[in-house]
Chains A and B, each alone.
Chain A
Amino acid sequence: MTDRRTSRRDALKWLGGAAGSALAAPALAQGAAGTVIVIGGGFGGAGCARALKKLNPALSVTLIEANAVFTACPFSNGVIAGLRDLKEQQFGYEGIARDGVKMIFQAAAGVDPQARNVTLADGTRLAYDRLVLSPGIDLRWDALPGYTEAASERMPHAWKAGAQTLLLRRQLESMEDGGLVVMSAPANPFRCPPGPYERASLIAYYLKTKKPKSKLIVLDAKDAFSKQRLFQNAWKELYPAHLEWVSLSAGGKVTAADAAGLTLTTDFGSHKGAVVNVIPPQKAGAIAALAGAADRTGWCPVEPVAFTSTLQPGIHVIGDAAVMGAMPKSAFSANAQAKVCAAAIVRLLAGTAPAEPRLINTCYSVVAPDYGITVAGVYKPNNGVLVDVEGAGGVSPLEAPASTRAQEAAYAEGWFKTIGAETFG
């Protein structure tokens, strides 16, 4: 065993030198050419397209994405609270194109899994050997009575970053001191489990520093959420007068929205806000359903090794759209899955079995500019799903000095820069 490991390490060093370029695996076991199409240019799709080309430059890799500029959701709560500029959230695809990925800036209109082709919005048809769907989420406009796409112009969701993020920010900025902010958080599953609570924290930070007579009330369709005790401890410490969380059992589930009246109705009453932020129920991005890769829940079931759809042949689904067992819907998860998926596809095209993966997720939440908290997990396939590796993962310590919270806030900033460079070059 030891001998084998030593020789393998020596061989690795030799290979690294021979290959000569960072992270470029020699076209050896995986030299087979092939055509891969990736739909969706976020942390999953863009990361996967880039990784495919690096792992096997002989592949033809096309990334289909409707927008020429990507606006990232992680850290966008800081934009809402006036702590960051939206430009800091934005990435172009030049780096990915430079790596040899063919970019197509159009929406994908359809997928034929049997014929293995994608139809673009303009009618062009593109054939593939393997397809990766990484469409992120769509908001369910049918799930909360009164909360339509038109209503979101009055009561923004800001759960896809961009114009909605800026709308919510402007509404907060123009609100009079003393105004009530009302937010609703959905039942599981949804994009970024700690996201609503980071947002609540940073809106409370904004109110405390800019509109001290105002208050935020969070209406929740759940009794439990990610990093709950850490958030609640921080709220007690930092925002006792500015943030109130109403759990499901305390009547927090929103059952209807009235955009004209800026009012959310729960089983227990109604809440009228000066600003109302509705984070509605979600589903996989539309192309997943068009491809037949989404099930009745609206999400995409996959196997846990190569993230192949269990519903359609030749299609992989990664990121927020996929059902990933214990792994949460996060940018970090999507990017980690993207790289595992890319390596698996390179092997599948070469006719070999994908290796059993190990995945990591790390989620930073910033509850104040100098106060960060985390949840981390390590995952492996077991009985057809990704499960937590026992003994690993968990949240930041409940008791920690301010210096630790400040350190995690600094690491959070570093993480955002790193994942941006990792994904977009």
Chain B
Amino acid sequence: MIRAALSALLLTGAGAALAQSAEAPPGAAACSGCHAISKSVETPAPRLLGREPADVVAAMLAFKSGARPATIMDRIAKGFNEDEIRAIAAWYGAQKD
């Protein structure tokens, strides 16, 4: 059933985007080098999995502008534009534990 639904979606423009969105958008795979996927890792860096995308976007834009104090995230956020940040936040938000 899922496959049928997906095939139907593939016929549309949204479907083409969807097919590509199955894999992480550019940059997202690197985040989990510091932001643990696993719940059991003890680290001060917050997990991104399942987090509300709007919160991640707000944090990244504040890091990027310098409005939010940071140790390292200001330097990393500056490497992404708003669309790229939104795509990464949406992807992590969509992942389930």
Residues of A that sit less than 8 Å from B by CB: 4-5, 7-9, 11-13, 15-23, 25-26, 28-30, 51, 55, 332, 335-336, 339-340, 343, 346-347, 355-360, 362, 374, 376-378, 389, 391-394, 396, 404, 407-408, 410-411, 413-415, 417-419, 421-422
Decide if the interface of chain A is mainly helix, strand, loop or mixed.
helix
The verdict on B32 contacting chain A, using a C-beta distance below 8 Å, is yes
A4 to B38, CA, bound (A): 31
**Contact across chains for A376 and B42 when beta carbons are under 8 A apart:** no
Chain B residues near A339: list those with CB within 8 A: 24, 29-30
- Nearest-neighbour CB distance to chain B for A184, whole angstroms, equals 30
Chain B residues near A392: list those with CB within 8 A: 75-80
A-B contact count (CB 8 A): 177
Q: Which of B22, B43, B84 contacts A15 (CB 8 A)?
A: B22
Nearest first, the 3 A-B pairs at minimum CB distance are: A378-B79, A414-B43, A392-B79
Q: Which of B18, B23, B37, B78 contacts A422 (CB 8 A)?
A: B37
The verdict on B58 contacting chain A, using a C-beta distance below 8 Å, is no
Chain B residues near A347: list those with CB within 8 A: 23
- Nearest-neighbour CB distance to chain B for A391, whole angstroms, equals 5
Chain B residues near A358: list those with CB within 8 A: 26-27, 30, 79-80, 84
The verdict on B9 contacting chain A, using a C-beta distance below 8 Å, is yes
A411 to B73, CA, bound (A): 12
**Contact across chains for B38 and A421 when beta carbons are under 8 A apart:** yes
Q: Considering only CB atoms and an 8 Å cut-off, how many residues of chain B contact the other chain?
A: 51
A154 to B86, CA, bound (A): 54
* Most chain A beta carbons < 10 A, residue from B30, B42, B53, B97: B30
Residues of B that sit less than 8 Å from A by CB: 2, 6, 9, 13-14, 17-24, 26-27, 29-38, 40-45, 49, 53, 71-72, 75-80, 83-84, 86, 90-91, 93-97
Chain B residues near A13: list those with CB within 8 A: 90, 93-94
**Contact across chains for B18 and A15 when beta carbons are under 8 A apart:** yes
Closest to B90 in A: A9
What are some 28 contacts across the A-B interface (CB < 8 A)?
A4-B17, A8-B14, A9-B53, A12-B93, A22-B97, A26-B2, A29-B20, A29-B22, A55-B23, A336-B30, A343-B23, A358-B30, A360-B33, A374-B71, A376-B75, A376-B76, A378-B27, A378-B76, A389-B79, A391-B79, A392-B77, A396-B72, A411-B45, A414-B44, A418-B32, A418-B35, A418-B36, A421-B36
